Every structure is written in C-alpha cells, then in structure tokens.
Amino acid sequence: MEEAFLLSVLTLDATLRVATPLVLASLAGLFAERSGIVDIGLEGKMLGSAFAAAAVAAVSGSAWLGLVAGIGVSIALALLHGFACITHRGNHVVSGVAINILTAGLTVMVGIAWFSRGGQTPALPDGARFTAIVWPGAQALAGIPVFGTLYKELLSGHNILVYVAFLAVPLTWWVVYRTRFGLRLRAVGEHPEAVDSAGISVAGLRYRAMICCGVLCGIAGAYLSTAQNAGFGRDMTAGQGYIALAALIFGKWRPVPAMLACLLFGFLDAIAARLQGVELPMIGAIPVQFIQALPYVLTVVLLAGFIGKAVAPRAIGEPYVKER
Amino acid sequence: MNEGPARPPRWVGMVLIPLVNLTLALAIAGLIILSIGENPLTALRFLLFGAFGYIEGLGYTLYYTTNFVFTGLAVAVAFRAKLFNIGGEGQAYIGGLGVGLVALAFDDTLPLVLMVPLAIAAAAAFGAAWAYIPAYLQARRGSHIVITTIMFNFIAAALMVYLLVNVLIKPGQMSPESREFAPSAWLPFMHEALGWFGIAMARSPLNLSFLWALVCCVLVWAFIWHTRWGYEIRTVGGNEAAAVYAGIRPTRVIILAMCVSGALAGFVGVNEILGVHHRLLLNFTAGYGFTGIAVALMGRNHPVGILLASLLFGALYQGGAELAFEIPAITRDLVVVIQGLVILFSGALEYMFRPQLERLFTRRGAALPVEG
C-alpha cells in the first residue's frame, strides 16, 4: 500500500515535469489564438528558444542569460509570424509551417557551425542550468505519512520554471478575463470589426498577443534545453508544440482546462514509460504506442464533437482588412 | 478596347513571382552560409554539380523528385478545394504500409506486371483511407482539417511503430523492419530498365515509379481541368456559397478532394518501399510530405509548376548531400532552411511583393487592380 502510494506520487511528479513545457506552450497558443491568429508554429518557437537558451547558457555559463536569449528568439519568430499574418494577410497555417521547418533546419545548421557537435550544444554543467529547488523542511517533513511524501516528492524539488509554468496559468486567466487588455484580446479574436470601430488598433492588439505568445514559448523552450535536459539536441521538441496545440483545443481555448489537458497528456506520457512491458490484470500488456497516440486520438474525437464541442474563436485565421 | 480592370500579363504570376521568391530564399540562405564563414558561390557550385553534374547524381535528384511530385500534387489537389492537407506525411506512411502488405502477401506468387498495379492500388487506397477520416470530420462534423491531419500524422507514426515492432518484424531480428520482399516483386531500377534497351546508366535509387509520377501529373491536370469532379473542386475552392447555389454538394467535394490528395501522397510508398527499400521500415517518409507543401506553393498548384518545383527540391536534396560531403560545415539542414524560406516567401508572405510587381507590369493608364 505504502509502496503503491509512493509509486503513484512519483508518477504524478513525472507528470508535472513532462507537462511543464506543454502548459507554457499551450498558454502561448492561447494568447495567439484568442486574438485570432492560428499558431501552428508553437513547435518552431520552442525549438528556436531551446537552441538559443542552450547555446547562450553554454557560452556564458548562466541559465538566466540563456532564458533571456531563448525568449528573445521566440519573440522574434512570433513577430515574424505576426508580420506575415497581420501585416501581409498571409495564410496563418502556411506561415506556422514555414517557421517550424525553418527553425528545424536553422538550429542544427547554426549549432554545427558554432559548436561542431553534429547539431548538439555542449553539455551544460549544473551551474548553467535551472536545477531543482528543495523546499525548506522537505527532508524533516518526509517522515510524516502521506503529507510528508506529497510535500517532498510532488511540491518540492522542481526547478523554478516548473513553478513559473503553473503560476502562469492563474496569471493568464487573470489577464485574459479580468483586464482591459484581455477583454480586447478576446474581442479581437471574435469580432475584430467591433474592436476596430471602438477605435482600437486590431493589428496592434494582435502584435501584442504575439509578443505574449513569444515570451511563453520562449520559457517553454528554455525549460527543455536548460532545465529538463542539459543541452540542445536536434529536433528536441519532438512534436510537443503540436501536443500543446492539441491541449489548447482540448481545453477549448481556456487557461485552466488547457492546463488540465496538458496534465492529462503529461500523465499519459509518464504512465506510458512505466507501463512498458507490464502485464495488467484482465487487459494484458497495453502497447506503449497506443498510450502515446492517445492524446492525438482524444483530440480528434473531441474535435469531431463526440466529447463536448470545441468552438474556436470566431475570427480565427481570417486576415482583418480595415474597411475603407 | 479592353474594358474592366487591367490584368498583369500571365507570366508575371506564373514565372516572375516564383522566381523572385526563390531568389530571395536562396539569397538569405547565401547570407547564412556567409555568416558561418563559407563561400556561398562555392557552395552553389558544389550543389549544382552534385545534383546534375554526373549521371548517378542526376539519378538521385530524379529519385527525390519522384517523391516530391507525389506529395506536391497531393497538397495542390487539396489546395484547389481550399483545404490545407498537412497530413501528406502520414498518408505517405500509411500508403507505404499498403504497398508493403501487398508485397509481403503476394511477392512470390504474383508476376511483376500484376504486382505493380496492385501495389499502386493499395498505396492509393491506404493513403486515401487515411485522408478520408479527417475529410469526413471536416465535411460532416466541422472539425478543422489542419488540426486533424496533423494529429493523423502522429497517429500514423505510432501505428507504424506498433506494427513494425510487434507484428510485421522479421522474426529473430532486432531492428524493426519486415523481411525483404522476393526480388521478383521489386519495381525495376531505371538503370536496369534502360539496360533492357542496351543503354548503360550508373546505379541510383531512381526507379520506374518516376514514370508513374509523370503519369500522375497528366492525370491530375486532366482531373482538375477536364472532369466534372475537378470543376466541382475548383468551384468549392473558389466560392463555397456559389457552389451550393450551383447544386454542388461541398461535403462530397471535400471528401473527394482529400481522398485524391491522400492517394497521391500514398504513392510515395510505391517509390520508397517497392522501388528502393524492398521491405517495410520506419520513417521512410523522411519529411517528404512536408516538402510537398513547399513544392505546391512554389509550383502554384499546377502540375507543370509542381514538376519543376519538385525537380528544384530534388536537386536541393541531392546537391545538399553532395555539398555536405564537400564542405562538412554545411549539412543537409541547409536544404531544410531553404525549404522553410521558400514556404515563407511564396506562401506566408505572398502578398508582400505581388501587388507591387503586378502593378509594375500592368498596362499604364489602366485602372489598377485592388488587392482583396
């Protein structure tokens, strides 16, 4: 019993670690999509940031400088997306695909030119990474049953970006639902004409939303290369940007449900690693690939309208042309 | 005299704008090469020589071209109905599964003349089936095709890993691959086929599926512009509301366009599985499905344009490999960068230069077309 409890707490702990970049990226997508910009490019922004963060951290020895560089690159890519979609009324999906492909090639090419390690950045020492923060009294309280274990394993012992990610959820909620900017953001995604007729710049709002998106994707990328791992590797995002997008849709473009979807997808990932080759009673061994494909299958089923209805912001993907 | 708004000559849209976009993409790639301390002109020379300079290189170029024709046509047919099929990668993967299953089942019983049409049919059926579900969901349940096709890429990848690791793997082998097909079921290589006529050609992976790619270009052209279905697809893509008034049912057209698109993407499996690898294996699609997006955008969704754009990307892939060999600092990732830049300039930023360029070549004094 005690052991089973510890095992499930450890699985939840792994869930938090896996879900962190997903939460950050899907909040990033939330800002973009709520303002009416389709963002397939979450993946590319994360990848670009992961590379920049690892490269700068490796050279400077500071994880924080790496984080700043990662956010910078991610914002630049977000603004490029904005430039194409907002200023030049380009196709949002095409632009997102371009950014994903561009960063996939560029990160490796520049990585080889700078570090000559086949696209990887040098392994980061602990000083140049975001390492685990042990909360006060974690060891002392560990002896208390249930609470002690939860405190030590689940709450304590993560790096700072994990806490940032989960604090970003209420913050995003507050910004989107309780501030003037948030109200306008939601309006511009639903009915840009109304926002425009109130004398507010549609393009300005959408650009600001893209900057928010860039910041969050930047943190997500830096987490991958300087916190979860110790360095950048080719294509290290491995589809997480798309999973985050799926989680955003699964959460119906709202912050808290999107976070819950990220936790669900993270949990599936954590459990897939543990279930490898395990025979379950009654069911037998579940193929790992089945659990890995589940987030995508669930998203398709949701989109098909079989579990609730996912309704996108109304003006999403449509370029806004001011009437003359 | 000609009334109404003046239009720029057709060659501006068909030739000049793609060339401007390509030049921009190559110029930026050149700057990147310069910034990592290499000479872009030397790089270009190695690239061109690698792609066209000798027969084996040319063979590789045309082998890549074959894949890009299939995926480019796939994206273009969907584009004609205003659908964005990002799922070419998954459809090609599953199409290859169809080819592999047929070959594994009949490789020592069927003669090649029956095997090839059967494999082509299987590739089309499997690819179309994989595109059918997202198409159905878009047409009937309103779920967005971009998202569902992305999801289906990942589902296809997971399915293939499962099948190859657990079901189709050759017993007593570690790597997840099926057994090799009997040689009688291999699609002949081009150097073998030319050998029948006494023409000697250096060995390369180029095989007879290249001819099928050319046939597909003609078939797609005929389908889009000379059949009723093609007309319906273009009408729905142009104006869905008008199509409904004309008695066209968009749900049927969406499903048809996507199935044709999926079938075309599936043909990558014929080239890769029956033509080159002769066994089922993982990741044989290698991003060809995504390159198809760049090919279709660059080729303006027309078979002729797509053939030329495929040749361009085939040359970039092959020349890029050669380039990486000559200048180790420049890897094939350069090609991926160029691909991204081409999609950016000819897709996402297509309206950045087009109005100015078109205005430049529109007859002076005539009313200027207003970009919508």
For residue range A266-317, list pLDDT tens digits in order. 998 888 877 776 777 666 677 888 888 888 898 888 888 776 667 788 888 8
Q: How far is CA A5 from CA A8, A12, A78, A146, A153, in A?
A: 5, 11, 43, 8, 12
Determine the pLDDT at residue A60.
Answer: 93
Is it the case that residue B208 has pLDDT exceeding 50? yes
Q: How confident is the model over B82-93, as a mean pLDDT?
A: 94
Q: What is the largest CA-CA distance in chain B?
A: 78
Confidence of residue A324 (pLDDT cuts 50, 70, 90): low
For residues A255-274, average pLDDT:
90
Work out the average pLDDT over A134-157. 79
Q: What is the pLDDT of residues B113-158, one digit of tens each?
A: 999 999 999 999 999 999 999 999 999 887 888 889 999 999 999 9
Whether the per-residue pLDDT at B3 is higher than 60: the answer is no
Rg of chain A taking only CA atoms, in angstroms:
20
Q: Is residue A141 part of a domain?
A: yes
Which of A120, A297, A303 would you mutate first to test chain B, the one with the most B CBs within 10 A?
Answer: A303
Q: Does A305 sit within 8 Å of B142, measured CB to CB?
A: yes
- For residue B1, the model assigns a pLDDT of 45
When the candidates are 1.10.287, 1.20.120, 3.40.50, 1.10.3470, the CATH number that belongs to B10-356 is 1.10.3470
Is the pLDDT at B210 greater than 60? The verdict is yes
Answer yes or no: is A131 within a domain: no
Q: Which two tokens stand for residue B202?
A: 């250096």
Closest C-alpha to B317, from B290, B283, B344:
B290
Instruction: Output the average pLDDT for chain B.
Output: 90
Chain A residues touching B151 at Cβ < 8 A: 242, 246, 296-297, 299-300
Mean pLDDT of chain A: 89
User: Is residue A309, in this structure, part of any structural domain at all?
Assistant: no
Confidence of residue B60 (pLDDT cuts 50, 70, 90): very high
φ and ψ of B207, to 5 deg? -135, -175
In chain B, the DSSP E strands lie at none
Residue B372's pLDDT band (boundaries 50, 70, 90)? Answer: very low
Within 8 A of A97 by CB-CB distance, chain B residues are: 86, 290, 293, 343, 347
Residues 6+ away with beta carbon under 8 Å from A69: A52, A53, A55, A56
| CB proximity B349 to A under 8 Å | yes
- Interchain proximity B337–A102, CB inside 8 Å: yes
Mean pLDDT score, B67-85: 95
**Residue tagged 């520049």 (tokens):** A110
Optimal mutation site among B161, B291, B336, interface A, most CBs of chain A within 10 A = B336
Q: B290 to chain A: which residues are within 8 Å by CB?
A: 97, 101
| φ, ψ for residue B139, nearest 5 deg | -70, -40
pLDDT computed for residue A307 by the predictor:
67
Per the structure, the complete domain to which residue A102 belongs is given by 2-122+136-303
Q: What is the residue whose two structure tokens read 């939840």?
A: A12
Amino acid symbol at B74: A
What is the spatial distance between Cα A37 and Cα A42, in angstroms, rounded to a whole number? Answer: 12
CATH of the domain at A244: 1.10.3470
If we measure between CA atoms, which residue out of B97, B68, B2 comes closest to residue B307? B68
**Overall number of domains in chain A:** 1
Query: pLDDT band at B311, cuts 50/70/90?
Result: very high
By CB neighbour count within 10 A (0-12 exposed, 13-18 middle, 19+ buried), where does B220 fall? buried
CB hemisphere CA count around B41 (13 angstroms): 0
Q: How far is CA B101 from CA A135, A150, A311, B226, in A?
A: 56, 50, 39, 34
> Which residues of chain B does A242 touch, with a Cβ-Cβ cutoff of 8 Å?
150-151, 154
- Alpha-helical (H) ranges within B227-287 are 228-238, 240-245, 250-266, 268-269
CB B243 within 8 A of CB B235: yes
**pLDDT (0 to 100) of residue A311:** 77
Compute the distance between CA of residue A265 and CA of residue A243 in angstroms, rounded to an integer: 8
Mean pLDDT for the stretch of residues A28-34: 96
User: Please, which pLDDT band fits residue B341 given cuts at 50, 70 and 90?
Assistant: very high
DSSP, collapsed to helix, strand or coil, labels residue B207 as strand
Pairing of strands A279-280, A284-285: antiparallel
pLDDT tens profile B173-194: 888 999 999 998 999 999 999 9
Size of the A and B interface in Cβ pairs below 8 Å: 152
pLDDT of B358 strictly over 90: no
Answer whether B340 sits within 8 Å of A102, measured CB to CB. yes
* Closest chain A residue by Cα to residue B84: A93
CA distances from B310 to A104, A155, B17, B307, B366 (A): 21, 53, 17, 5, 37
pLDDT of residue B355: 80
User: Is there a domain that residue A218 lies in?
Assistant: yes
| pLDDT above 60: residue B101 | yes
Question: How confident is the model at residue B356, as a pLDDT?
Answer: 81
Statement: residue B367 has pLDDT above 80: no
* Amino acid of residue A125: P
Picking from A91, A119, A310, the nearest residue to B348 by CB comes out as: A91
Nearest CA in chain A to B152: A296
- Nearest-Cα residue of chain B relative to residue A39: B147
Query: What percent of chain A is helix, strand and coil (3-state, nearest 5)?
Result: 70, 0, 30
Q: Is residue A258 part of a domain?
A: yes
Asked which of A212-216, A258-262, A291-295, B294-298 is least confident by mean pLDDT, the reply is A291-295
* Minimum CA–CA partner of B148 in chain A: A300
Q: What is the pTM of this model?
A: 0.90
Distance to chain A for B110, nearest Cα, Å: 34
Task: Report the percentage of chain B scoring pLDDT > 90.
Answer: 69
Contacts of B350 in chain A (CB under 8 A): 88, 90
State which residue of chain B sits closest to A239, comparing Cα positions. Answer: B154
Does residue A320 belong to any structural domain of this protein?
no
Please tell me if residue B201 touches chain A, with a CB cutoff of 8 Å: no
Residues 6+ apart with CB under 8 A from A324: none
Give the range among A216-225, B66-75, B293-302 with minimum mean pLDDT: B293-302
Do B171 and B164 form a contact (C-beta atoms < 8 A)? no
